[in-house]
């Protein structure tokens, strides 16, 4: 019997302390056997709501995608353990402030890459501390 990767879309930012001020937030939980990985994309950061200007979330980037191993939060949710980053080779940053469509594509590419690697036997053990 071959395991399938279970994919759950969630409605909150999976990383970035100011994710609540981002206009774009994606958080996808991937589950494969005992492995759980959160793929998070944020961007469209408005640091000063009264000004409404989109600002960089890091050096030369307005959108970014990261992935992390997950941990059980209060026996309810699998949340990103930001101390245990998961590596991937897909693009992860966009330097354009008006690129939410590209950010969505970037997120999907990372989800697809990690899903394929899980299906091919990568346990991401090398990404654990």
What was the pLDDT predicted at 127? 65
DSSP category for residue 61: B
**How far from each other are the two terminal CA atoms of the chain, in whole angstroms?**
31
* Spatial separation of the C-alpha atoms in residues 92 and 119, rounded to whole Å: 21
- What's the chain's Rg over C-alpha atoms? 15
What was the pLDDT predicted at 2? 65
What was the pLDDT predicted at 47? 93
**What are the percentages of helix, strand and coil residues in the chain, rounded to 5?**
20, 40, 40
Q: Are 106 and 92 in contact (CB under 8 A)?
A: yes
Consecutive 10-residue averages of pLDDT for the chain (129 residues): 87 90 96 96 94 94 97 86 95 96 98 96 75
What was the pLDDT predicted at 128? 58
Please compute, for residue 59, the number of CA atoms within 13 A of its CA located in the half-sphere on the CB side: 0
Helices (H), strands (E): how many in the chain? Answer: 1, 7
pTM of the model: 0.92
Sequence spans of domains, the chain: 6-123
């Amino acid at each position: 019997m071959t395991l399938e990767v279970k994919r759950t879309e969630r409605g909150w930012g999976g990383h970035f302390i100011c994710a609540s001020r981002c206009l774009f937030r994606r958080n996808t939980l991937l589950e494969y056997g005992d492995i759980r990985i959160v793929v998070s994309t944020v961007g469209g950061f408005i640091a000063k709501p009264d000004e409404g200007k989109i600002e960089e979330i890091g050096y030369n980037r307005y959108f970014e995608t990261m992935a992390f191993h997950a941990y059980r939060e209060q026996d309810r949710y699998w949340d990103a353990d930001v101390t245990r980053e998961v590596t991937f080779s897909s693009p992860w940053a966009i330097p354009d402030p008006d690129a939410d469509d590209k950010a969505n594509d970037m997120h999907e590419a990372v989800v697809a890459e990690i899903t394929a690697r899980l299906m091919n036997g990568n346990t991401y053990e090398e990404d654990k501390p």
